Structure 1
């Protein structure tokens, strides 16, 4: 078991090392599931086999020592050397390979359950959601808001709230589901979404917007037009960039590509059943559904709702819309 445990740790270190070095993309949900399963097997083996075996061996040591002392006492020898208690403690001691597997199982199990069914941390990697979210924001994602899903498989087994326009949602990037993206829901099934000449239209009606002056974009180091926008019941803020009035174009074929039409003014799409149209709040600096299509329901990870830390700006901590 020592050799097997050492081999498993070597494989884990190599896998994580390659992931951090950018050699391959890791599936953290799958990795956590495997860690929970393997350490759980070790925990069961420790609970029902290894620990009882050590306890039996320790009991046999005590019984043997008692018999030896009785035999010596019958011969008139009252004082017997030997520290049997330290030997018993050594027998009962958990070996390192169980300490680093079965011993970690409760902690890994709690992390797995929390991450799979309650909340998952997520780091904002780009400026596509400025001004709502900034690069470096560490946020929490509600995993049960849209329903309970099976870990790894991401199959919904219990429904909860429906996805609403205006929700900030984390989802698996359709062209590469091993990568998580975060955008705002602007179109739900059945909606006609259009982004024409830097203006958003839902079912033929322009989204409600109010100018808020200029916003200084730290990433781009320039000021940009800043607006308050309302989608459904959600009030939030957006940026536009007049210097980037370029028409979007599909970078590749995607599911329901025929539902979208592209022109020099922008793009118009009819959202199919079971899918959602996503856009970044930094409207002209976001690669979103305008470029790679719709997000299917099975790709949903959860609803983002809280910035729990930004090491560069503690004032960022708090809820957002």
Structure 2
């Protein structure tokens, strides 16, 4: 009997330990940092497919979007952040809120689908944003551009989604070098970063986007391969993003893998471990 009692106590203690660990992890993820894998090439060459980072949730304060969404498709689990913290939704405000800065790399919730996106903040409330001949204009002024050379990568399937890159040098074969023009873009506040060009397309010439109060305008650094605020939400774009939809700021890549699985150590990019983001 004593042995049975001891075994039951052991099981109870194990369950308690697991529950406590999950609670601590949930609190840590909700309040401090959220892990984020880069699934697409929209932020190349600042962020590559397979980069892993932690998003600083303390940067802009907290809203309903700060709560984690729990989606495990194989188990049929789909708990949205709004299901947990929906009571904070609706007034486009934040607790302990602070304003983001132009040029910040931010993870935010898509205003319609609720999916997590990562892009660069380009337009602040009240700004007028326009693309003319592939050049970004903010409030009627063209941003400063300098030649940044050429970005090169192998044409091959990348990451778990096995996407292949788009190339400025046309259609290339498997394993061939895929090239894109790179420029250094400097925003009005002095923040500089690299952007890539692939081709001339509709998103390189737009009308004027007037950013509403309490909203932000985001773009990917891989300008011709990014679904962002240049595209209206009705056509699967992002549109203007409400202040309350910001999740946090990305500041550093922690780990990076070029393969389809994290444990394929031969695909790890050691030169990107703990790389600071510009």
Aligned to 1:297: 243
- CA shift at 1:109, angstroms? 1.4
Work out which of the residue numbers 168, 171, 180 in structure 2 matches 1:224: 180
State how far apart, in whole Å, the 1-side matches of 2:2 and 2:212 are. 69
Aligned to 2:276: 319
Q: Does 1:142 align with 2:56?
A: yes
Structure with the higher helix share, 1 or 2: 1
Query: C-alpha offsets along residues 145-187 of structure 1, whole Å, 9 cap, x if unaligned?
Result: 001335332745522431111000001112311x111000000
* Equivalent position SS for 1:161: coil
Q: Does 1:240 align with 2:197?
A: yes
Aligned to 2:12: 98
Q: Does 1:173 align with 2:130?
A: no
Check whether the contact 2:63–2:244 (CA below 8 A) recurs between aligned residues: no
State how far apart, in whole Å, the 2-side matches of 1:310 and 1:208 are. 31
Query: C-alpha offsets along residues 258-313 of structure 1, whole Å, 9 cap, x if unaligned?
Result: xxxxxx93232000011111000001111111112111112111111111101331
| Greater C-alpha Rg | 1
State how far apart, in whole Å, the 1-side matches of 2:130 and 2:207 are. 6
Give unmatched runs, 5+ long, in structure 1.
1-86, 249-263
Answer 1 or 2: higher relative contact order, Cα 8 Å, separation at least 6: 2
Check whether the contact 1:278–1:289 (CA below 8 A) recurs between aligned residues: yes
Check whether the contact 1:166–1:233 (CA below 8 A) recurs between aligned residues: no
Check whether the contact 2:63–2:245 (CA below 8 A) recurs between aligned residues: no
Query: C-alpha offsets along residues 71-130 of structure 1, whole Å, 9 cap, x if unaligned?
Result: xxxxxxxxxxxxxxxx43532443576355323122111111111011111000000000
TM-score (norm 2): 0.72
Give unmatched runs, 5+ long, in structure 2.
68-80, 155-164, 167-176, 232-236, 258-267
State how far apart, in whole Å, the 1-side matches of 2:26 and 2:205 are. 46
* Equivalent position SS for 2:21: helix
TM-score (norm 1): 0.63
Kindly report the root-mean-square deviation, in angstroms, between the aligned alpha carbons of the 2 structures: 2.0
Count of aligned pairs = 217
Check whether the contact 2:59–2:248 (CA below 8 A) recurs between aligned residues: yes
